[in-house]
């Protein structure tokens, strides 16, 4: 599996370089363009989930203890799992769905459409499963009834939000501001100040000096993350490309690499200070973490639910609001339980996405004449 993953990453990154060199000044614009901040908020909240909030504090100790990560400090390693280079996956798919797919319409081919919807639905359910799994870590003593009940409420809220694109936009912008507020709250409740924050953030330098190490899987955990990013990439490109404000291709690449990475770097730097000094997180802060985590889950789920329901023509306008809400809620909850009680793994979905990438490359080669004759303006 890792060999397949390494080859896929290499081809993906190489393709991104070719795109920027060949079509660097091409203007990319979605069919529902928003301002840059709104686009960034939609990208950030749709392209990330609860793991951004809940994983770092549990993974910092693991990176300290495991010798395989000894080339860099835990903050740099954690940033490598979430930031900068991996967002190139999203650049490739965003460019494809903005500029290439309208000419070739490969995702309208029944087999491609079927696999694409399978990936979206499976990844959507996995997001809910992660939230279910990590709830006891942040809500100590939560009962099984409350745990499953909260997940059901989150799924129901996401389905309702997905029923209208305006809800998705509003929730994305609002949750981005809430995330900034959470960072500020976590920062002011310590004595780190600006100097302490700077000292913590300087550790990120070891990521960039070792960036080449993150291209291939470092460990099973890193391989999991990379498969996860592949799984997300194909659908996030479909979703966020429609909201893209006019940008040149090279500007789009820089935007996707830097805009999400900056708040991730700030957030992880604050959390790393908590880890290094073994600071206790108060119950109030834990509650805030859970609240923002819940909203991030809703944001992730609503964009994915909207994506597959539009593709399958199962929108509220076509099947009715009640059927839409009840049907999608039941489907999502059932699939979340499948992750809970079966051996189903996210890595398998990632492999399906890599296979889908391969098919798209082959189909693009067969339709190269169509692309050569396309009006790219």
Most confident of 29-38, 227-236, 336-345, 353-362: 353-362
pLDDT > 80? residue 46: no
| Cβ contact 128:334 at 8 Å | no
Confidence of residue 344 (pLDDT cuts 50, 70, 90): low
**Total count of domains within the chain:** 1
The percentage of the chain sitting over the pLDDT mark of 70, rounded to a whole number, equals 98
Residue found by looking up tokens 């692309």 in the block: 371
Average pLDDT (241-268) is: 93
What confidence score (pLDDT) does residue 343 get? 66
Q: Is the pLDDT of residue 128 over 90?
A: no
Residue-wise DSSP of 139-202: STT--HHHHHHHHHHHHHHHHHHHTSHHHHHHHHHHHHHHHHHHHHHHHHTSS-HHHHHHHHHG
Domain around 269: 2-100+109-373
Judge whether residue 266 has pLDDT over 70. yes
Please name every residue paired with 27 in a beta bridge, in sequence order, or none if there are none.
248
- In this prediction, residues 276-284 reach a mean pLDDT of 89
Say yes or no to pLDDT of 138 above 80. Answer: no
Q: Which of 318, 336, 288 is nearest to 156 (CA)?
A: 336
Q: Is the pTM of this model over 0.85?
A: yes
Any idea how long the chain is? 377
* 279, 273 contact by CB (below 8 A): yes
User: How high is the pLDDT of residue 222?
Assistant: 93
Scanning the structure block, which residue is given the tokens 């006891």? 136
- Looking at residue 275, its pLDDT comes to 94
Under 8 Å between Cβ of 351 and 231:
no
CA distance 280 to 283: 9
Q: Kindly report, residue by residue over 317-332, the tens digit of the pLDDT.
A: 999 999 999 999 999 9
DSSP state of 312: T
Which secondary structure element, helix H or strand E, spans residue 107, and what is its range? none
Query: Which residues partner with 248 through β-bridges?
Result: 27
Tokens standing for 35?
Answer: 């301002």
Please give the average per-residue pLDDT across 139-165, as a whole number.
89
Binned at pLDDT 50, 70 and 90, residue 123 comes out as confident
**97: Cβ–Cβ under 8 A, 6 or more apart, which residues?**
237, 238, 241, 242
Q: HSE of 160 in the Cβ direction (CA atoms, 13 Å)?
A: 7
DSSP letter for each residue of 244-300: PPSEEHHHHHHHHHHTTHHHHHHHHHHHHHHHHTTPPPPHHHHHHHHHHHHHHHHHH
CA distance 341 to 57: 26
> With pLDDT > 90 as the criterion, what percentage of the chain qualifies?
54
- Write down the pLDDT at residue 14: 94
For residues 122, 127, 131 and 134, what is the CA-based torsion angle, rounded to 10 degrees? 90
Compute the distance between CA of residue 65 and CA of residue 58 in angstroms, rounded to an integer.
Answer: 12
pLDDT at residue 377 in the model: 60
How much is the pLDDT for 52? 84
- pLDDT at site 366: 87
Secondary element (H or E) of residue 27:
strand 27-28
Q: What mean pLDDT is reported for the chain?
A: 89
Range with top average pLDDT, 168-182, 203-217, 344-358: 203-217
Q: Residue 119: which residues within 8 A CB-CB, separation 6 or more?
A: 231, 234, 235, 349, 352, 353, 356
For residue 113, the domain's CATH number is: 1.20.1740
């Amino acid at each position: 599996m890792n060999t397949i993953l390494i080859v896929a990453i290499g081809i993906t990154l190489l393709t991104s370089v070719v795109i920027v060199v060949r079509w660097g000044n091409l203007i990319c614009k979605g069919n529902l363009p928003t301002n840059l901040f709104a686009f960034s908020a939609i990208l950030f909240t749709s392209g990330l989930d609860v793991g951004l909030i809940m994983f770092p504090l549990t993974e910092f100790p693991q990176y300290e203890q495991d010798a395989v990560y000894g080339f860099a400090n835990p903050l740099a390693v954690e940033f490598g799992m979430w930031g900068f280079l991996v967002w190139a996956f999203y650049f490739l798919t965003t460019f494809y769905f903005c500029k290439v797919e309208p000419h070739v319409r490969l995702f309208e081919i029944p087999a491609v459409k079927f696999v694409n919807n399978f990936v979206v639905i499976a990844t959507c359910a996995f997001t809910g499963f992660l939230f279910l799994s990590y709830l006891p870590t942040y809500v100590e003593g939560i009962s099984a009834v409350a745990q499953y009940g909260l997940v059901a409420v989150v799924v129901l809220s996401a389905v309702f939000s997905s029923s209208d694109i305006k809800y998705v936009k509003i929730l994305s912008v609002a949750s981005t501001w809430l995330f900034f507020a959470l960072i500020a709250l976590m920062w002011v409740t310590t004595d780190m100040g600006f100097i302490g924050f700077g000292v913590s953030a300087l550790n990120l330098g070891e990521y960039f000096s070792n960036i080449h190490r993150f291209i291939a899987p470092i460990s099973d955990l890193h391989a999991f993350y990379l498969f996860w990013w592949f799984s997300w990439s194909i659908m996030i490109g479909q979703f966020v490309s429609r909201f893209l404000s006019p940008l040149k291709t090279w500007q789009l690449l820089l935007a996707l690499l830097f805009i999400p990475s900056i708040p991730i770097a700030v957030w992880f730097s604050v959390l790393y200070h908590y880890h290094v000094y073994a600071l206790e997180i108060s119950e109030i802060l834990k509650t805030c973490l859970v609240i923002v985590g819940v909203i991030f889950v809703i944001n992730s789920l609503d964009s994915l639910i909207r994506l597959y329901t539009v593709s399958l023509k199962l929108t509220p306008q076509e099947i009715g609001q009640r059927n839409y809400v009840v049907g999608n809620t039941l489907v999502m909850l059932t699939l979340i339980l499948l992750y809970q009680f079966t051996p189903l793994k996210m890595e398998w979905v990632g492999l399906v996405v890599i296979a889908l990438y391969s098919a798209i490359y082959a189909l693009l080669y067969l339709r190269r004449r169509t692309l050569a004759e396309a009006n790219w303006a």
